[in-house]
A and B are shown apart, each in its own frame.
Chain A
Amino acid sequence: MRKRLSCGLRRRKRLLREFPKEHWNQSLPTLGILPLGKFCSALLVSATVMISEAKQWVVEWIEGLGRLSILAREAITSLFTLKVAWCDFLYQLYFVGVKSQSVVLITGAFTGMVLSAQTYMQFHKVRMDTATLAVVSVAMCSELGPVLTGLMVAGRVGAAIAAEVGTMRVTEQIDALRTLATHPVDYLVVPRLLALHVALPLLTVESITVGIVGAWIVGVQIYDIDATYAWANMLKYTTTSVVVVGLIKAVVFGGIVALIGCYKGMFCGEGAEGVGRATTEAVVYSSITILITNLFLTLSLGQIFHTF
């Protein structure tokens, strides 16, 4: 039995040795004309290549996470030790906050309206019409407001940050900053991080407000819900803790958008392609991170503030 096994192993090694290297990367149809033994060994080689690529991907992913953590640590150190450049901060606040208003307001208003319509349609079946605004308000305050605002800002501001910082990197402007004895984190990351930490909760509040107003218009004006009861129910269920949870989420999402945008920009690849990829990745990664973080924040903050 052992002899047979060792014979098999030797045969496999021989096949691997004999298999011409130029065929390793060839496609399966070409491999189809090869003898079965060689085809199996080609599969084995492909599996080895795939495993090594997966390993490389994991290593790069962990490296990236490490770099992002170092960047976050540097930014926090800088936040607490340096004097903030108010001029840069105000400009970023204007760019992040004021310029993002239209997109955030439209998103908030239409989400509130559609949520109100949908909730009314379901609740009307069980004669709970006056709970419509309460559902919309709680959902907007604790989940939809911060998440949708975060996603919209990730798309607009996260992309802009990655593109701007990435262009600065490829045109050696970040190196120039460093030779002028300026830490890139102090100059580029901290004002953006602070601005997003401040602007995102404010934008979220706006989004929630217009969402509720939109819901009121649809519910009360179009579907003719009793305004007094709907309003009373809304105030009853929208507790302070629900609003606080939403705002905490917004602050966290602001940090995510700023850090991932800056990180992708500062470590982007060369040339226009590198900047393009950094921009796309900044939006995709911040959006995914916001969605995943939201779940954990809901679970943990729910425990802390007893929002259920």
Chain B
Amino acid sequence: MIEVRDLKKSFGRQAILDGVNLRIEKGESVVIIGRSGGGKSVLLKHLVALLKPDSGQVLVDGEDVVPMNERQLLPVRHKFGMLFQGAALFDSMTVAENIAFPFRREKKMAKEEVARKVSEVLAMVELPGTEEKKPSELSGGMRKRVGLARAIVYQPQIVLYDEPTTGLDPVVSDSIDKLILRVRDRLDVTTVVVTHDMRSARRLGQRIMMLHDKKIYVTGTADEIFESKDPLVRKFIDGISDAN
């Protein structure tokens, strides 16, 4: 479904990704782990062509998205839904307007149908009755739920999550993890999660990739990675730093 070949990206003189190769199959649930500032979010943004690489290919359903311009990318992006780190809700709109945003240009759909879809996804993310609230009135966890509702309302094939549990307390993090699993199972979507939360990674990932030193350092099933003897992987999973 998604394939990345020899992806290189640098900002100014600083190389962020240097020869990343990966493949994500349809219906799979993949977690990309790695240190903060290691380029995980940058890699995720390349998958949906929000960033252009310096070199390399990103294939979505066999189609290279790198040479496409913004207008050619619009139909490709219909396949994707993305939950951003800070939820990225449109703060001038209400929750309902945010979620109905993908339908705003589709004149064919009746208002009642849009409203029904909005309340359906809000119920799915366990936030019924919040349609008229503004994003500023919501807590961090609620904002992420609304962000997820907006990402899945038009039933994409792939959902990308950029650090979905960062900055949330363990209980809310747990509920977000459960929500991601529920969305995956109910909508049968391919899931790509970027995180450095090991508990989330273990729970969400059928396959885990570790990004280290600008490359995919290791790939394996969740069990393989969590039982790995590799010192670098162990250090990351156990959360041991080099500092004294």
Mark A residues whose CB is within 8 Å of B.
Answer: 74, 85, 168, 171-173, 175-176, 178-183, 185
Contact = CB atoms under 8 A, between A and B. Distances in A.
A173 B77 contact: no
27 contacts: A74-B70, A85-B104, A85-B105, A171-B86, A171-B88, A171-B91, A172-B84, A172-B85, A172-B86, A172-B88, A173-B88, A175-B50, A175-B84, A175-B88, A176-B82, A176-B84, A176-B90, A179-B77, A179-B81, A179-B151, A180-B77, A180-B102, A180-B150, A181-B75, A181-B77, A182-B101, A183-B71
Contacts of B161: none
Contacts of A180: 77, 101-102, 150
Given A74-B70, A175-B45, 13 more contacts: A168-B90, A171-B88, A172-B88, A173-B90, A175-B84, A176-B150, A178-B50, A179-B48, A179-B81, A181-B75, A181-B78, A183-B70, A185-B70
B145 to A, nearest CB: 15
A175 to B, nearest CB: 5
A182 B150 CA distance: 14
A185 B86 CA distance: 23
A211 to B, nearest CB: 35
Nearest to A87: B104
B74 interface: yes
Contact of A181 (B74, B84, B88, B89): B74
Nearest to A81: B71
**B: interface residue count bin:** 20 to 34
Q: Which of A74, A176, A179, A185 has the most CB of B within 10 A?
A: A179
Nearest to A167: B91
A171 B73 CA distance: 22
B88 A176 contact: yes
Contacts of B84: 172, 175-176
A239 to B, nearest CB: 45
A185 B45 CA distance: 19
A297 to B, nearest CB: 32
Nearest to A88: B104
Contacts of A183: 70-71, 74
Contacts of B80: 179
Interface in B36-90: 45, 48, 50, 70-71, 73-75, 77-78, 80-82, 84-86, 88-90
Given A173-B88, A173-B90, A179 B105 contact: no
Which A-B residue pairs are the 3 nearest by beta carbons?
A: A176-B88, A172-B88, A179-B82
A226 to B, nearest CB: 55
A193 B109 CA distance: 28
Contacts of A181: 74-75, 77-78, 102
A185 B71 CA distance: 10
A185 to B, nearest CB: 8
A185 B48 CA distance: 18
Contact of B50 (A171, A179, A182): A179
B84 to A, nearest CB: 5
A212 B90 CA distance: 44
Contacts of A173: 88-91
Contacts of B71: 183
Contacts of A168: 90
B103 to A, nearest CB: 10
Q: Which of A74, A85, A171, A185 has the most CB of B within 10 A?
A: A171
A190 to B, nearest CB: 13
B134 to A, nearest CB: 14
A133 to B, nearest CB: 45
Nearest to B102: A180
Interface string B135-170: 000000000000000110000000000000000000
Nearest to B80: A179
Contacts of B82: 175-176, 179
Nearest to A164: B92
A54 B132 CA distance: 52
B101 to A, nearest CB: 6
Given A85-B105, A183-B70, A183-B71, A178 B88 contact: no
Interface string B99-142: 00110110000000000000000000000000000000000000
B177 to A, nearest CB: 22
Contacts of A182: 74, 101, 105
A85 B107 CA distance: 11
Contacts of A176: 82, 84, 88-90, 150
A168 B45 CA distance: 17
A207 B49 CA distance: 46
A259 B81 CA distance: 30
Nearest to B45: A175
